[in-house]
Chain A
């Protein structure tokens, strides 16, 4: 059974710092990996999707990498801003279009 783990569980940084969020998964047979952002009490906003054949994806200040063989992904956020404060979720798609989620990393960026 696929298990997704995210480290750290919480992270507090001052504005302007570059940071890395980590995601690991136990079964490397994935179709893709998706990073989401979740604001308190809100839905999930898709940030980046990396297909299993890709190594990384970039969107603005966000860069996500995927090492499928080792079961790892990282989300790099450059020049963090207070508006980046949210919970970041990693999810892998295994067979049959199902996403398995990690518990998330709660990020707080202080002005």
Chain B
């Protein structure tokens, strides 16, 4: 069964460094998403992406964050200058269509630890 994959599974970085989290969505899906979950807290929406541009973004997704689909398969989340509070599990998700038509499928997550 097709699945969303994410790399790396765990990333440790120092405060102020740039990190890139990678995701390979399910191949026939058109909408891509990033969510994060700080330890012990709710899963929070960051950004949605469709047709090579951001569709929606939350208040969390500030200028430190960016997303890109550099080729036909990968979808990346870049954090330019990491802060301690960026430590969280980051989930990528994809769906065939957006806006309520199809369910979102999540990857296993990347645990980001900022020291």
* In-complex Cβ contact of B48 among A98, A101, A104 (8 A): A98
| 1-37 of chain B: CB within 8 A of chain A | 31, 33, 35
Min distance, Cβ A69 to any Cβ of chain B, angstroms: 17
A99 in contact with B104 (CB, 8 Å): yes
Q: In the assembled complex, which residues on chain A have CB atoms less than 8 Å from the CB atom of B100?
A: 30-32, 51-52, 93, 97
Closest to A98 in B: B45
On chain B, the number of residues with a Cβ less than 8 Å from chain A's Cβ atoms is 29
Say yes or no: is B75 at the interface (Cβ < 8 Å to chain A). Answer: no
B58 in the interface (beta carbon within 8 A) = yes
- The interface on chain A, measured as residues whose beta carbon lies within 8 A of the other chain's beta carbons, has a size of 27
Given the interface pairs A99-B45, A100-B45, the reply to whether A43 lies near B108 with Cβ below 8 Å is: yes
Name the one of A30, A97, A102 contacting B33, with C-beta atoms under 8 angstroms. A97
Other than A46-B105, A97-B56, A103-B42, give 19 A-B pairs with Cβ distance below 8 A: A31-B99, A32-B100, A34-B103, A43-B107, A43-B108, A45-B106, A49-B102, A52-B100, A93-B99, A96-B56, A97-B33, A97-B50, A97-B98, A98-B45, A98-B58, A99-B35, A99-B45, A99-B104, A101-B44
A-B contact pairs, 25 of them (CB 8 A): A32-B100, A41-B111, A42-B108, A43-B106, A43-B107, A44-B43, A45-B106, A46-B104, A46-B105, A49-B103, A96-B98, A96-B99, A97-B33, A97-B48, A97-B55, A97-B56, A97-B95, A98-B48, A98-B56, A99-B35, A99-B45, A99-B104, A102-B42, A103-B41, A103-B42
User: What 9 A-B pairs come out closest when comparing CB atoms?
Assistant: A31-B100, A97-B98, A43-B108, A44-B106, A49-B103, A96-B56, A101-B43, A98-B45, A32-B100
